[in-house]
Amino acid sequence: LLSGRETVGSSNMENDASLEFSQQLFHIGENLVTEDVTALKFLCMDLLQLGRLEGVKSATDIFKLLMAQEYLKAEDTFLLAELLYRIKCHSLLEKLGYTKEKVQKHLHEKGRVSPYRQMLYELSENITNEMLKEITFLLQNRLPKRWVTPSALDLLTLLEKQGLLTKDNVQILESICKTVSPDLLEIIDCYKKAKVLCYNIFSSPETAAKLLKELGVLPSFCPKMHKRKCVLLCSEQEGTPMDGVFLFQPKVGLKYMVLEVLVLFSLKNTFFNSGSYKMDGPHRGFCLIINNVNFNSSQRKGSCKDAEQLERVFTWLGLDVRTYTDLTSGAIINLMQTWQHVQDHKDRNCFICCILSHGKSGAIYGTDYKLVSIRVLTTHFTAKQCPQLAAKPKLFFIQACQGNNIQRPVFVDTDGPTPDSTPVQERVSLLESIPEEADFLLGMATVDGCVSFRHIEEGSWYIQALCSKLQLLVPRGEDILSILTQVNEDVAKRVSPSGTKKQMPQPAYTLRRKFIFPIPMAPPPS
């Protein structure tokens, strides 16, 4: 009799758990719109039979199919969590007991959506309605007559059905993207490189290591990254991490696993992040440093320390650094005109210019105490004025005061002008200092109207913080805006020796994508 009670009790608990799980799925389905259901169907195409997916009308229909194939269970909801993560429904993850970070942490060992499917989905997310019309026109001879393309996912599904698109043949996508939007080629190119990389992990570890460096995925100076680690992957191994670099899943089969391994090399979605500027060219770019130290009646002591540190850090980051010292206003403008016509920009990924001088609102001083508008400097490098840098990121870092002088405490100097001078304007908005077109970033040492500080021996607060954070955070794969946020925090914590003066840097930008420096092969310079 006691045994019978235990059986009944156990059965009731199972029923309760089943009901709770069904309620979870119901609530999740209620929060998914038609576009979400379409995305889920597409991401499940490698897991479920296409014929069954075509009959899907709601999210719960997909859940039932996944449960029937035992991909989704009350005790294992990770696949659904991954799918919600992929379609960016992060708020629904908590209904399954997950967070965005927790899903990311376990993707490398539990992820089931293939890199091929991820690539296609990422591509669809970046195809606008206008692009879709153009693509439909280009493919009109391959599409059914009177066929209306509801979405990019529907078009990709049709191409797969017709056998024109497979995981091993994405040529039709490349051809279309070259015509409609060359930027989309980056997504396809990353997938192809990663696929080649996975093959070479097994057949040619040295080639694999080279591809890793090209993709900028792992720091090659990191102790965990050795070419010999590639050799350690074989089909007989257990699913254990190799020093945190590789992980193997024998149960899913070699053919599928080769694709799945790609996820392991993703730092902040390196392979599939079309939201980042292309930074994998043979040459990173030029970095100009203008260091105005000697003025008629004063010296900007400590500025040479800044210039030396900038040169070391940007050289480490792969840039071709050129330093110019003590330039007049006319010489600064002439220098910008010279570099705006340099043809070698076309083979570079970006352009960086650092200016260390005195300044006023929206302008910097030449050594002749004449002001040069920051906007005048930056507009030399617009797409119209410098077509070689079109669609490429242009970064300007300005260490200069943007307001009136203040009394200088011991060991702290301000980057404002010593003599009286007639300002070209009272105040200039920071956004007015950068061109209206895209792909510019202006990092200012201070907000408009305020002074910036420079230690006469150790250099300026802003430049030293910038160099320090670049060395710390670039190896972690952080983008430039995240790095500048850390710079803001660092400088904001500093205080002058008198304990009364502080400083807050300010960035302004028209960047369209994330700007991420590839991780250098050498360790940071300091």
**Would you call 358 a catalytic residue per the annotation?**
yes
Active-site annotation holder among 358, 380, 386, 455: 358
Query: In 10 A of CB 20, how many CB atoms?
Result: 10
What is the structure's pLDDT at 244?
A: 31
d(CA 454, CA 406): 13
- What are the chain's domains? 16-112 (1.10.533.10), 119-218+251-272 (no CATH), 285-408+435-510 (3.40.50.1460)
Q: Which two tokens stand for residue 81?
A: 């969590």
Exposure string for 384-407, b = 16+ CB within 10 A, e = fewer: ebbebbbebbbbbbbbbbbbeebe
Q: For residue 247, what are the contacts with CB-CB under 8 A and spacing of at least 6?
A: 108, 109, 239, 240, 241, 261, 264
Reading the block at residue 468, the tokens are 């320090």
What Å distances lie between residue 24 and 27, 104, 186, CA to CA?
A: 5, 21, 38
* Predicted model pTM: 0.49
| Phi and psi torsions of 460, nearest 5° | -75, 150
Q: Which of helix, strand or coil describes residue 105?
A: helix
pLDDT, residue 110, reads: 85
| Cα dihedral sign, 164-165-168-170 | positive
pLDDT digits (tens, 9 = 90+) for 424-471: 344 455 555 555 678 999 988 775 655 555 566 677 888 998 999 999
**What is the pairing mode between strands 363-365 and 394-399?**
unpaired
| DSSP assignment letter at 268 | S
**Annotated catalytic residue within 44, 401, 450, 467:** 401
Q: What angle do CA 293, 389, 402 make, to 5 degrees?
A: 35
Q: How far is it, in rounded angstroms, from Cα 500 to Cα 484?
A: 24
Cα separation, 28 vs 90, in Å, equals 11
CA–CA gap between residue 78 and residue 75 (Å, rounded) = 9
CB 261 within 8 A of CB 199: no
**C-alpha gyration radius of the chain:** 28
Three-state DSSP state, 511? coil
Tokens of 437: 């077109």
Q: What is the pLDDT of residue 299?
A: 87
Q: What element of type H or E holds 50? A: helix 50-54
DSSP per-residue letters across 446-464 = S-TB---EEETTTEEHHHH
β pairing state of 348-356 and 283-291 = parallel
Structure tokens at 251: 């149960």
Strand pairing partners for 395? Answer: 352, 441
User: Is 401 a known active-site residue?
Assistant: yes
**Which residues of the chain are under the pLDDT cut of 50?**
1-10, 13, 199-203, 215-273, 405, 407-412, 418-427
Non-local (6+) Cβ contacts of 135 within 8 A are 127, 149, 155, 176, 180
Nearest to 71 by CA among 409, 62, 10: 62
Residue whose C-alpha is closest to residue 177's, from 126, 116, 118: 126
pLDDT for 498: 57
For residue 135, CA distances in Å to 179, 312, 466 come to 9, 47, 44
